[in-house]
Copies of this chain bind each other. A is one copy, B any other.
Amino acid sequence: MRIGLVGLGRMGYNLALNLKEHGHEVVAYNRSKEKVKKAEKEGIEGAYSLEELVDKLRTRRVIWVMVPAGAPVEQVIDDLTPLLDRGDIIIDGGNSHYRDTLRRYKELKERGIHLVDAGTSGGVEGARHGACMMIGAEDEVFSYLEPVFKDINVDKGYLHTGRVGSGHFVKMVHNGIEYGMLQAIGEGFEVLKESDFDINYQEVARVWSHGSVIRGWLMELTEEAFKKDPELDEIRGIVHSSGEGLWTVEEALKLKVPVPIIAGSLFMRYRSQQEDSFAGKVIAALRNEFGGHKVEKKE
């Protein structure tokens, strides 16, 4: 299939190579020209404006948008919309909030343009060699695109999750679960570290990756991480987050689903970003008030 691709970041660039490798014709546009030129060297057709991109696509255009969620996606879709014809398809492959997707779907539908949300997991490596996609789409549109999804994902690694929005929703929950799993792994290794035993973390991650109940990609990556830095001495334990965990908790709150673990994992990330905690200060001050317990003064 001939496919337009907007965005040649880590994910988009690798997706382009993946598509090309499976025989698809990719026309790629990126805001900065350098990446387009780089892609052209890999045999990918470049476009230096959205107009050029749209012009270079055949009838029933398919344009895969692979830019950061939020304002960038909004901008690209706003700019693309007037250039497209009825029946054309925009695939949002990023981590957009599903409520934004629902809104955009409605707006695009009025102009006869189809929106597809393809929540993508598997990281950079997955984008290149076989990803995992959760796809919200109208049935007809999904059928039209399915051969592409089949090619670029690992075997059994794509799913038509339902109507538009469901792909981003399921991907959001996927990431929420990921937050909990990561925190559980982190806590476990901290217990190992603080114990009286002299544990080789990399070796433990390796054995847990082979035959254990908790084996999986995250544990394999844990082995990789400890291989590079056996005590993680060089990095700081500051954990940022990009939105999906927060959204999962916000949705759960609205749906009255108890998610203490996903929320707790997010709060530990927030805590990791603080040098000091105002809550802690209040408590330290109060312990001093009622029990005369010493507070630690700032230097």
A residues touching B (Cβ–Cβ < 8 Å)? 10, 121-126, 130-134, 153-159, 161-163, 165-166, 169-170, 173-195, 197-199, 203-204, 206-219, 221-222, 224-226, 229, 232-240, 242, 246, 248-253, 255-274, 276-293, 295-298
- Knowing A235-B295, A280-B237, the reply to whether A258 touches B268 (Cβ < 8 A) is yes
Q: Can you show 28 pairs from A to B with CB atoms below 8 A apart?
A: A121-B208, A121-B214, A123-B289, A123-B291, A132-B207, A132-B210, A132-B211, A132-B215, A134-B204, A134-B207, A157-B211, A157-B212, A165-B197, A170-B192, A177-B214, A178-B184, A182-B286, A184-B261, A191-B252, A194-B255, A194-B257, A213-B290, A221-B286, A229-B285, A237-B278, A239-B284, A240-B293, A260-B260
Q: Is the CB of A234 within 8 A of B288?
A: no
Chain A contact surface mostly: helix
Q: From A299, which residue of chain B is reached at the shortest CB distance?
A: B236
Q: Contacts A159-B204, A180-B181 given: A253-B261 contact, CB under 8 Å? A: no
What is the minimal beta-carbon distance from A274 to any residue of chain B, in angstroms?
Answer: 8
- Chain B contacts for A271, CB-based, 8 A: 258, 268, 271
Contacts of A250 in B (CB 8 A): 250, 253
Distance between A259 CB and nearest chain B CB, rounded to angstroms: 4
- Complex A-B, nearest 8 residue pairs according to Cβ-Cβ distance, in ascending order: A216-B216, A237-B280, A180-B184, A186-B279, A132-B211, A157-B211, A159-B207, A154-B211
Given A153-B210, A190-B258, A222-B285, 5 extra CB contacts under 8 A: A182-B287, A216-B218, A232-B282, A237-B281, A260-B264
Q: Is the CB of B259 within 8 A of A170?
A: no
Q: How far is the CA of A239 from the CA of B145 in the complex (A)?
A: 42
Complex interface: chain B residues within 8 A of A262 (CB): 184, 187-188
